[in-house]
Each structure stands twice: as structure tokens, then as C-alpha cells.
Chain A
Amino acid sequence: NAGVTQTPKFQVLKTGQSMTLQCAQDMNHNSMYWYRQDPGMGLRLIYYSASEGTTDKGEVPNGYNVSRLNKREFSLRLESAAPSQTSVYFCASSVGTGGIYEQYFGPGTRLTVT
């Protein structure tokens, strides 16, 4: 099993450009997440999907959109990138066994917006 995979690993964008970060999991998990992590800080939730076809805003959704394409894939789109979106982006998935949601993370995408 590959677990949670993310593409690309690194990306440099100019202000105003758009891009989509891809995430896929092969663990048959229902829940998927997108986080951003700024230097020296914890993870902040951008969007969450409890199941295929549903999405919910997290703490910092402004400037982002998501698509839960199917059970495996959850993509994050930046429509018009800004320097404030320079960060490391992590995708995660979980299954709520007994109501406990252990999260499994992908390797991350390091995004720089100039």
C-alpha cells in the first residue's frame, strides 16, 4: 500500500497563478483533509471531507477550493495564488474506528508563491 500520496512535491508559483494539488489514498478511508503548516507552527485545517461528495470548511479556507472526486481522491485548488499562501500543504485521511479518527498524512507539497 502506498498510503497517502501527494503531487507535486515542490512547486513555485507567481502571484496570481493557479494550481491544483492532488491527493490520493489507497486505505479505503472515508475522511480526508487538507492542512497547511507555516514555519514553527502546527497544522491548520483548510478543508475537510467526511465522505465522497461532502466537503466542509476548516479554519483557513479563504483562497482555496476543494473537490472530493471519489473516495480515493481529494484535490485542493488555489485559484489566484498569493505570497501568504507560501506554506507546506499536507493531505491526510482517516477512518473513524470506534469514533476515533487517527489521521495518516501524505509527504506534503512545499509551495512557494513569489
Chain B
Amino acid sequence: QKEVEQNSGPLSVPEGAIASLNCTYSDRGSQSFFWYRQYSGKSPELIMFIYSNGDKEDGRFTAQLNKASQYVSLLIRDSQPSDSATYLCSAGWTNAGKSTFGDGTTLTVKP
């Protein structure tokens, strides 16, 4: 079992809809969680991170963390075609720089 698992995808949503991306992790020692966006042929770029249970909002993006269920999600509201990319979930440890990445979920937003 991979340490970080993501929806197998691909995920397709119409423009303006909410896209929901999910991630589970197996190491209960993981303390910080990151969502990266990767456009085809490009390098990953950080969207947001979360380390406390609950929701964290940044513009159209909301990260949700449930440590009891070992579950992290990313909601993208009012999805745009420019959101079409692969989204990588990562789990890390406070005061330790290493983190583990999932295989990513590819999102397509159709106009």
C-alpha cells in the first residue's frame, strides 16, 4: 500500500462546477499536508498546505483535513478550464523536510 493514495482519476467536471480531489495517508505521524498543481510538461507548484483539522480556504480553493480518518481533500469552486492539470497530494512531518507524494489525480474542466 502506498503511503499516500489519491483518486485514480481522471476527473472531468464542467466549467463552473465544484471539483473534489481526495487523498488518504497511512502514516499517522504525518503532520502537514500539501496540494501541488502540475500542468502537463511543467513542474509542480504549491497551491496550499494544511496542518490543522478542519477547512482552510484560499480564494476558490478549500483544503480539508480529517486526521482521525487520515483523509485530505481539495475542493475547487467555480472550476475553470485553466484548472485542468494534475493535482498531487503530499504528506510531511513537522520539523522534518521529507514528504511523500501520491500519484496525482488529473482534472479536466470542460468549457
Shortest distance from the beta carbon of B47 to any chain A beta carbon, whole Å: 10
| Proximity bits, A39-77, B CB within 8 Å = 1, else 0 | 011111100101000001011000000000000000000
State A57–B44 Cα separation when bound (angstroms). 22
Q: Is A25 among interface residues, defined by CB-CB distance under 8 A?
A: no
The verdict on A40 contacting B103 (CB below 8 Å), with A31-B97, A90-B44, A101-B97 known, is yes
State A56–B102 Cα separation when bound (angstroms). 21
Question: B11-19, B61-69, B87-95: which lies at the A interface?
Answer: B87-95
Q: Is A100 among interface residues, defined by CB-CB distance under 8 A?
A: yes
Q: Please state if B95 and A99 are interface contacts (CB–CB under 8 Å).
A: yes
State A41–B2 Cα separation when bound (angstroms). 12
Q: Is B45 among interface residues, defined by CB-CB distance under 8 A?
A: yes
- Contact residue range for chain B? 20 to 34
Shortest distance from the beta carbon of B6 to any chain A beta carbon, whole Å: 8
Q: Is A83 among interface residues, defined by CB-CB distance under 8 A?
A: no
Contact of B103 among A33, A42, A50, A105 (CB under 8 A): A42
Q: Is A102 among interface residues, defined by CB-CB distance under 8 A?
A: yes
| Proximity bits, B20-36, A CB within 8 Å = 1, else 0 | 00000000000110101
Is chain A's interface secondary structure helix, strand, loop, or mixed overall? strand
Shortest distance from the beta carbon of B45 to any chain A beta carbon, whole Å: 7
Q: Please state if B94 and A99 are interface contacts (CB–CB under 8 Å).
A: yes
Which residue of the partner chain B has the closest CB to A59?
Answer: B100
| Proximity bits, A73-114, B CB within 8 Å = 1, else 0 | 000000000000000001000101001111111111000000
Shortest 7 CB-CB distances between A and B: which pairs? Answer: A99-B94, A31-B97, A105-B43, A42-B101, A42-B103, A43-B101, A101-B97
27 examples of A-B residue contacts, CB within 8 angstroms: A42-B4, A42-B6, A43-B44, A44-B101, A45-B98, A45-B100, A48-B97, A48-B98, A50-B97, A58-B98, A90-B44, A94-B97, A96-B95, A99-B94, A100-B49, A100-B51, A101-B97, A101-B99, A102-B49, A103-B34, A103-B36, A103-B44, A103-B90, A105-B43, A105-B44, A107-B42, A108-B42
